[in-house]
Homo-oligomer: A and B are copies of this chain.
Amino acid sequence: MPQNATNRLVLKRLGIDTYQEPVVYMRADCHVCRSEGFTAHSRVLITTGSASIIATLNVVRDGLLDEGEAGLSDAAWRLLDAKTGDTATFSHPSPVDSMSALRAKIFGHSFAAHDLDGILADIAAGRYTDIALAAFLTACAAGGMSLDEVVALTRGMVDVGARLSWPRPVIADKHCVGGLPGNRTSPLVVSIVAAAGVWIPKTSSRAITSPSGTADAMETLTNVDLDLDTMRRVVERENGCIAWGRAVRLSPVDDVLIRVERALDIDSDAQLVASVLSKKVAAGSTHVVIDIPVGPTAKVRSINAAERLEHLLERVGRQMGLQLQAVVTDGTQPIGHGMGPALEARDVLAVATGAPGAPVDLRKRTVRLAGELLEMVGACADDEGQATAAAILDDGRAWKKLQAICEAQGGMRTPPVAAHRHEVTAPRAGQVAAIDNRVLARIAKLAGAPASPASGIDLHVRLGALVHAGQPLFTIHGQTPGELAYAREYLLGHPGAVTIGEAP
């Protein structure tokens, strides 16, 4: 590749936020564009003394740039770690060789382990465009993935990131495959298990297709953007933490894939298992409990599907050297009252403090999962897990531990409250016959969750509840009027969030 003085330009930060996508802006009359043959949407390799990235070219005609300058988007500036006045060379990136394995997969072939290593290395290096990422995820979902492929994908995702090791032989962990709004047990399970003296360094992701992930909810209580050293210090002091997985770079490819999965609203078994287990292995976990909620409008809709997923998790987990216990749970309605980061955090606090009106189902689910984990790691007798967990919750040790963890992570905060609300009431008297998790999640997302942490839904009824006409069913919370209006408009076309049947 020609890299000499003639393709060198001075970098300028343009102050344009293109989200995760690195974009470079060059003048149409730029000598580098002309000599290299770059046009709008070309992929451009940018190399400074210390780093190199591949960015997408936007061509600029007007006065944004001086001669000899190239502009960078915020993401490009950050990835290059550029400083004002830095220069860089601009050239064609090498062809992305791993794309041929992707094309073969699209047309029905299987991935070999080295194919997936190559693809993941290229994704980690930023060589995959959004188009290529979407094709990869779609091909994995549509083509199906064998056990070997899922194991190779999982191992590959571990290999491209950092990996933690802990000075303890037993490291506990838990995970929920998601799809059930409000199922925010992690902060509570971590607090109970850590209070029992077991190390549980929990890394969580942000929402994929739900109104909130654990990292989103926990962020309304404390800092979750921990680096590795901070995470270690927190765990050494408190036995547990709740950190955002990406911040510790345990599985850097995962967040890139999640962004595209979120745009497509798809999350296949293979990607789900690889995403979950790669993060568990990278986090140094040895004993893992996985919650699989099942219900007609949960992510996993049938017992059959849950068993397929459980089977895949257990087989891949075994090959990755994990002790793994999957727990199939009730997913017919949301857990707790809140959906959205702050509203879910509020429920967590209520259970932790034993507040009146604390959601019973969230408490029950927490005790069950924490109990399984305590039994698995041998922290109590084989049939005393739930009783032990309940005791730690009831006597205040879990609440004390949650506060201590938040303090260690940077200080405890009060979750924000939304300024704009809209109450949805029962159109007639009757009994709550069905609750559609997907419609509720959609409304919560349209109201701004998870990007707006105070936005979401507060659900006031459970399945089977008797209601009178005009009784509040749920309240939509929006940080902004626009968000609230958008959620309300969607509601007009989708009245089936809560179905009222005849009273018995």
Residues of chain A having any CB pair with chain B under 8 Å:
1-2, 7, 14-19, 21, 25, 28, 34-37, 39-41, 58-62, 64, 73, 91-92, 95, 99, 102-103, 105-108, 129-135, 137-139, 141-143, 260, 263-266, 268, 442, 446, 448, 451-452, 455, 478-483, 485-486, 489-490
Residues of B within 8 A of A99 (CB): 264-265
CB distance from A56 to the nearest CB of B (A): 9
Residues of B within 8 A of A132 (CB): 134, 263-264
Closest-by-CB residue of B relative to A494 is: B95
**18 A–B contacts, CB within 8 A, in A order:** A1-B486, A2-B482, A14-B62, A15-B61, A16-B25, A17-B28, A17-B59, A18-B40, A35-B482, A36-B483, A37-B478, A39-B451, A102-B264, A103-B265, A129-B263, A130-B131, A135-B137, A138-B142
Closest-by-CB residue of B relative to A482 is: B36
B134, A2: Cβ atoms closer than 8 Å: no
Q: If the complex has contacts A36-B483, A60-B15, are A95 and B490 also in contact, measured as CB distance less than 8 A?
A: yes
CB distance from A273 to the nearest CB of B (A): 16
CB distance from A434 to the nearest CB of B (A): 19
What 7 pairs across the A-B complex have the smallest Cβ distances? Answer: A15-B62, A36-B482, A134-B134, A142-B142, A138-B138, A19-B41, A15-B61
Residues of B within 8 A of A141 (CB): 106-107
CB distance from A137 to the nearest CB of B (A): 7
Q: If the complex has contacts A103-B264, A482-B7, are A18 and B41 also in contact, measured as CB distance less than 8 A?
A: yes
A37, B137: Cβ atoms closer than 8 Å: no
Residues of B within 8 A of A129 (CB): 130, 263
Among A1, A106, A138, A483, find the residue whose CB has the most chain B CB atoms closer than 10 A: A138
Closest-by-CB residue of B relative to A38 is: B482
Residues of B within 8 A of A264 (CB): 99, 102-103, 131-132, 135
Residues of B within 8 A of A455 (CB): 37
Closest-by-CB residue of B relative to A133 is: B131
Instruction: Report the Cα distance A62→B72, complex, angstroms.
Output: 13
Residues of B within 8 A of A489 (CB): 1
B138, A59: Cβ atoms closer than 8 Å: no
